[in-house]
């Protein structure tokens, strides 16, 4: 070898060595992230199996597990947890658990029952759960069951105004409002549209779509909104808003806003009135409800009551960062994403600042420039029901930004659930006091949405597979059941 050749080889070896050293941290970091994601995904599967173990042992075929007393609770008597969890098991790849649940649906589930169910809750959990499971599996058992309950829910719409009643008797075919009022809740009558529209598309029977779109049309035209924000109640006789003047993005109004955006996406971005109402409402939020805390300047969405801003926010509002991010991903103004980033931080702090690392049901925020804490919790609001909204938003934020801090925040929440809500004999429980790590006061109830939503969004947050329920192909209903975006017909 000539001297020149030797020098060239030496130079090349030195070059490769330096490149190797420089890229080592990047490669090991990537490897660490991948390994971490796999660990995290397995941790969610393990959590699901533990929850399912309790449900199977003490509540099989019933609505909810009471994991401390090792028994069950009944709401509608329709195996609510099992149905809510079907598509989660499919997505998590839990084939054996799915097969035994499918068997129960095939042999035990009957809607021909003299039982009053809440229209909204049974639509988002049961109809939504059956429709999404049908789409994921292609198994017509689930479509048949969806058709059955969808048809049985229709009497709710036979009211003087066509704004549906809150309750339906599935066996008798009768419907009625709650005993104390003829009002329905605005979020409830405006968050059943994704499911009924999809049922019409699948059955080619327009009655479902017509019924829910009549509600949308009426609410669109109604007086009593403030900059696109809606009151919390609507009367089933007059079809008008009642108890006006109070505006919130939390309980009783929350999913109205979510379904404006998601219906627009479901229908292929053609229904401009839905988009206009959504855009106007977000402007309404910015103008009327947004404030910043002292001293840390956390942005939050307060509540307005007859012109007075109450600096409190339900944990339920934590769906909003995810919804705003979804809108921005679909071409809506970039400042929606800015707001999503800020609100996501606040929702994270609602967990991080609690002694158990779990959020309270309602947070109060400090607006005074004193030395107080940013977040305060009233004694009556200290419970945590294993709700999904923050994790749901973390999932959207991670999908769109790929910022690993969102996974870290989700991981911390899972750790806290395992530490403070996991029941050794199986299942997880709601707790009464997120500020007491010594005795968080278990409430003895595992809500169906813990399996339907919370664990599903955690799994999707940690999964590296972007095509697993692609956000360009599916919209999640408000109970985390993915429904397809309709194929374009033009």
User: Which of 235, 255, 429, 430 is close enough to bind ligand DMJ by CB under 6 A?
Assistant: 255
Q: Contact, 79 vs 108, CB < 8 A?
A: yes
Cα angle at 450 between 446 and 454, to 5 degrees?
155
What's the closest the beta carbon of residue 315 comes to ligand DMJ, in angstroms?
Answer: 8
Q: Site map for ligand DMJ, 279-318, x if CB under 6 A?
A: -------------------------------------x--
Residue number with the smallest Cβ distance to ligand DMJ: 478
Q: Which is nearer to ligand DMJ, 142 or 449 (CB)?
A: 449
Of residues 63, 87, 303, 479, which one binds ligand DMJ by CB under 6 A? 479
Active site residue 453: no
Check the annotation: does 429 bind a ligand: no
Distance of closest approach, residue 316 Cβ to ligand DMJ, in angstroms: 6
**φ/ψ of residue 422, rounded to 5:** -80, 130
By the rule CB under 6 A, 387 interacts with ligand DMJ: yes
Q: Least Å distance between CB 256 and ligand DMJ? A: 10
With respect to ligand DMJ, which residue has the nearer C-beta, 117 or 182? 117
Specify the residue, 185 or 200, whose C-beta has the smaller distance to ligand DMJ: 185
Closer residue to ligand DMJ, CB minimum distance, 387 or 399: 387
Give, as ranges, the residues between 315 and 354 that touch ligand DMJ (CB under 6 A). Answer: 316
Residues 6+ apart with CB under 8 A from 45: 92, 93, 94, 459
Q: Nearest approach, Cβ of 250 to ligand DMJ (angstroms)? A: 10
421 near ligand DMJ, rule: CB under 6 A: no
Q: Can you tell me the distance from the alpha carbon of 253 to that of 250, in angstroms, rounded to the nearest whole number?
A: 6
Smallest distance, Å, CB 319 to ligand DMJ?
A: 7
Is 361 one of the catalytic residues? yes
* Smallest distance, ligand DMJ to C-beta of residue 281, A: 16
Distances (CA, A) of 418 to 23, 89, 167, 421: 37, 19, 36, 6
The verdict on 478 binding ligand DMJ (CB under 6 A) reads: yes
Q: Which residues contact 216 (CB under 8 A, 6 or more apart)?
A: 190, 193, 263, 274
Please give the order of strands across the beta sheet that includes 312-314.
312-314, 362-365, 375-376
Closest contact distance (angstroms) between CB of 81 and ligand DMJ is: 12
- Count of CB atoms within 10 A of residue 355's CB? 13
Using the minimum distance from each CB to ligand DMJ, give the nearer residue, 200 or 478.
Answer: 478
- Is residue 388 a contact point for ligand DMJ (CB under 6 A)? yes
Q: Active-site residue 100, yes or no?
A: no
Please give the Cα distance from 228 to 371 (Å, whole number).
36
Closest approach of ligand DMJ to the CB of residue 66, in Å: 18
| C-beta of 59 vs 316, nearer to ligand DMJ | 316
Query: Is 277 or 392 the residue whose CB approaches ligand DMJ more closely?
Result: 392
Rounded to the nearest 10 degrees, the angle between the axes of helix 334-352 and helix 389-401 is 130
Residue with smaller CB distance to ligand DMJ, 48 or 374: 48
Q: Can residue 185 be called a binding residue for ligand DMJ (CB under 6 A)?
A: no
Give me the catalytic one of 389, 392, 447, 479.
Answer: 389
In the numeric block, which tokens belong to residue 332? 């809506």
Count residues near ligand DMJ (CB under 6 A): 8
What is the x/- site pattern for ligand DMJ, positions 211-250, by CB under 6 A? ----------------------------------------
Classify the C-alpha dihedral 306-309-311-317 as positive or negative.
positive
Look up 167 and say whether it is catalytic: no
Give the pair of three-digit tokens for residue 201.
């598309």
- Which member of 420, 449, 450, 474 binds ligand DMJ (CB under 6 A)? 449
| List 64, 87, 361, 374, catalytic entry | 361
Structure tokens, 149: 């309950």
Are 457 and 480 within 8 A, CB to CB?
yes
- The active-site residue out of 84, 97, 254, 479 is 254
Residue 263 within binding range of ligand DMJ, rule CB under 6 A: no
In angstroms, the CA 329 to CA 325 distance is 6
| Residue whose entry in the numeric block shows the structure tokens 């360009």 | 472
What does the binding site for ligand DMJ look like in residue numbers (CB under 6 A)? 255, 316, 387-388, 449, 453, 478-479
Question: Which parts are annotated binding residues?
Answer: 478
Catalytic residue ranges: 121, 254, 361, 389
Question: Which parts are annotated binding residues for Ca(2+)?
Answer: 478
């Amino acid at each position: 070898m000539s001297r020149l050749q030797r020098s060239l080889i030496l130079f090349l070896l030195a070059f490769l060595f330096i490149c190797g050293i420089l890229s080592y941290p990047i490669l090991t970091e990537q490897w660490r992230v991948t390994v971490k994601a796999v660990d995290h995904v397995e941790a969610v599967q393990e959590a699901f199996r533990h929850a399912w173990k309790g449900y199977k042992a003490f509540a099989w075929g019933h609505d909810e597990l009471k994991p401390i007393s090792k028994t069950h609770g009944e709401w509608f008597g329709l195996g609510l947890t099992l149905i809510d969890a079907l598509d989660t098991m499919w997505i998590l790849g839990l084939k054996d658990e799915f097969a035994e649940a499918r068997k129960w649906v095939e042999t035990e589930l009957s809607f021909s029952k003299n039982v009053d169910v809440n229209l909204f809750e049974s639509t988002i959990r049961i109809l939504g759960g059956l429709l999404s499971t049908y789409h994921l599996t292609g198994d017509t058992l689930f479509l048949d069951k969806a058709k059955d309950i969808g048809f049985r829910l229709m009497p709710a719409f036979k009211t003087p105004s066509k704004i549906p009643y809150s309750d339906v008797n599935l066996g008798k075919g009768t419907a009625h409002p709650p005993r104390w009022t003829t009002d329905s809740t605005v979020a409830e009558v405006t968050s059943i549209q994704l499911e009924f529209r999809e049922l019409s598309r699948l059955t080619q029977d327009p009655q479902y779509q017509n019924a829910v779109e009549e509600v949308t049309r009426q609410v669109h035209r109604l007086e009593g909104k403030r900059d696109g924000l809606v009151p919390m109640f609507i009367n089933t006789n007059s079809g008008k808003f009642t108890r006006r003047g109070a505006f919130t993005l939390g309980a009783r109004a929350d999913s109205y806003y979510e379904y404006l955006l998601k219906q627009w996406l479901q229908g292929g971005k053609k229904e401009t009135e839905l988009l206009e109402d959504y855009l106007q409402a977000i402007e309404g939020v910015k103008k009327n409800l947004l404030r910043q805390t002292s001293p840390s300047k956390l942005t939050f969405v307060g509540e307005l009551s007859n012109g007075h801003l109450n600096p409190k926010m339900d944990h339920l509002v934590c769906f909003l960062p995810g919804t705003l991010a979804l809108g921005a991903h679909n071409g809506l103004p970039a400042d929606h994403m800015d707001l999503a980033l800020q609100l996501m931080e606040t929702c994270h702090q609602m967990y991080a600042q609690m002694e158990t690392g779990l959020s309270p049901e309602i947070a109060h925020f400090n607006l005074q420039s004193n030395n107080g804490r940013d977040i305060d919790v009233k004694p009556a609001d200290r419970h945590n029901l294993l709700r999904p909204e923050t994790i749901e938003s973390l999932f959207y934020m991670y999908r769109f930004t790929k910022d690993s801090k969102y996974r870290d925040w989700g991981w911390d929440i899972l750790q806290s659930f395992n530490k403070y809500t996991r029941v050794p004999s199986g299942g997880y429980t709601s707790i009464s006091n997120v500020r007491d790590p010594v005795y968080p006061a278990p409430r003895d109830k595992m809500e169906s949405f813990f399996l339907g939503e919370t664990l599903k969004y955690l799994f999707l947050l940690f999964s590296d597979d972007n095509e697993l329920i692609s956000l360009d192909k599916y919209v999640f209903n408000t109970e985390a059941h993915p429904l397809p975006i309709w194929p374009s017909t033009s």
